[in-house]
Amino acid sequence: MIDGQACNQWGVPILTTHITILSPTAILGYGFPEASFQEGLSRRPNAIAVDAGSTDPGPYYLGAGQSFTNRDAVKRDLAPIIAAGLHLSIPVLIGTAGGAGAATHLRWCLDIVQEVLCQANRSARVARIAADQSADDIIKALTDGRISPLGPVEPLTEKDINDSTCIVAQMGVEPVIEALNQRPDIIVAGRCYDPAVFAAVPIKAGYPEALAFHMGKILECAAIAAVPGSGADCMLGTLDHEGFVLEALNPDRRCTVASVAAHTLYEKSDPRYLPGPGGVLDLTSCRFEQIDQRRVRVMGTQLIPSEHYTVKLEGAKPIGFRTIALAGIRAPDLIPQLDQVLEDVRKIVFQNFESIDETEVSVMFHCYGRDAVMGKLEPLRHLVPHEIGLVIEVVAETQELADTICSFARSTLLHFGYPGRQSTAGNLAFPYSPSDISHGVVYEFSLYHLMDVDDPVSLFPVTVSLMGLE
């Protein structure tokens, strides 16, 4: 930026009253129509930004160091995105690389970037931003009283930290801007606050932080905020100093006040406020205006700076091995008394394996079609379904033990003689053979906490290198 004026990646001033960000897809690897993407490029965006990860798929991918998105699908998406960024001389920004944003995920994504560049006979300056945190540093922060729970989670212990296979911090916009200052063609960030890669370019150019973050909050899910919604289609955001405009780029989709306002409420515990690194978005005065049939303008968003800058910590640790069995139940004499039957089966399991107890092995039954989704909160629990899809789940300290217990629970339930039983052929219908599936290591989130930091950049080192053809 020169005297408050927006500049391109080489520091050349750009005379503009607005700035435009193209979001191709909700998560890198989900895909997007070429026509939508080309329509977005025709608007001459100032940057292409895409989110590549989430905690939504659970802790396994962070703990195991694997991506929940398919490598071929990510490469398919990256090829046109990188080509367009280089052709238009605009930055390409990727947040939470590899799905979870740890070092192994970052390397995985960078390998794909390298392949795309080489196959296109191109080279590019690529900035990588690491998000991994050492156990020793986290323990010190815990000892210093700088870590607090995020939501209803257990207090953090040193054992939780040491047992974690990966620990990442969720970077805010500051490390991304630090990377932009080094004028790369492509930024690949580790674990990242979802709106950060969308907000970084506008904030660096001097646009209001509150509006940039709010626009990023919606753009990170691309066309999910349109009607009909889709995570596999493009969205364009155009920001000025008073508000921003959202537009779905597929003529079959449109942004409406209802769809954009609804997505503003997405993944929020309070409809008025959205906390993030460094501050809280205040949406109480937010206004939505339908410009035409396909575009919505948003105004009035405010940002309340935090007294202390905090980053979210995410860690995952292994807790055992899982085996599952899938079955169907369509017995009108069994379903009304299924709770008691399942409890009796569980008791028989532990009676037959006296050397184990429920602190070592978990035996769980998930009744789909009744209450498997909502559990104890299911309001229609009193209704008796005509059939149930049953998942038998066992978690134990070894895969062999999990396999053994699941097999025994499944066979016990299959032939269990409940009161009033009229058929002896079996209580379960199995869609697959073999019926039992060894699922491997089970992880749980060991860290889901906030950490106070003095410097929002120092935890996230930036490295720039030339990639592709030399």
At residue 119, the pLDDT reads 97
pLDDT class of 7 with cuts at 50, 70, 90: low
Q: What is the pLDDT of residue 6?
A: 52
CA distance 136 to 57: 27
> Band of the pLDDT at 4, cuts 50, 70, 90?
very low
pLDDT, mean over the chain: 94
Calculate helix-pair angle for 34-42, 71-88, nearest 10 degrees.
20
pLDDT per residue over 238-273, tens digit each?
A: 999 999 999 999 999 999 999 999 999 888 788 899
* pLDDT, position 447: 97
Measured CA to CA, the distance from residue 71 to residue 105 in angstroms comes to 11
**Residue 399 pLDDT more than 90?**
yes
The pLDDT of residue 365 is 98
Cα Rg for the chain, rounded, in angstroms?
Answer: 25
Q: What does the pLDDT look like over 292-311, one tens digit per residue?
A: 999 999 999 999 999 999 99
Beta carbons of 314 and 445 less than 8 angstroms apart: yes
Q: Please determine, for residue 148, whether its predicted confidence score (pLDDT) is greater than 90.
A: yes
| Domain 317-446 in this protein, CATH class | alpha beta
Task: Report yes or no on whether pTM surpasses 0.85.
Answer: yes
What are the DSSP E strand ranges found in 330-400?
Answer: 362-368, 388-396
Question: What are the DSSP E strand ranges found in 235-368?
Answer: 235-239, 243-248, 273-276, 279-282, 287-290, 295-299, 302-305, 310-329, 362-368
Per-residue pLDDT averaged across 441-461, rounded?
96
Question: Which segments of the chain belong to CATH 3.30.70?
Answer: 317-446
Predicted pLDDT of residue 122: 97
pLDDT tens digit sequence for 356-396? 888 889 999 999 999 999 999 999 999 999 999 999 999 99
For 94-145, how does the pLDDT look when each residue is reduced to its tens digit (9 = 90+)? 999 999 999 999 999 999 999 999 999 999 999 999 999 999 999 999 999 9
Catalogue the long-range contacts made by 103-107 (C-beta closer than 8 Å, 24 or more residues apart).
Answer: 103/130, 103/132, 103/166, 103/190, 104/65, 104/166, 105/53, 105/61, 105/65, 105/67, 105/190, 106/130, 106/131, 106/188, 106/190
The pLDDT assigned to 8 comes to: 52
Q: What is the pLDDT of residues 154-195, one digit of tens each?
A: 899 999 999 999 999 999 999 999 999 999 999 999 999 999
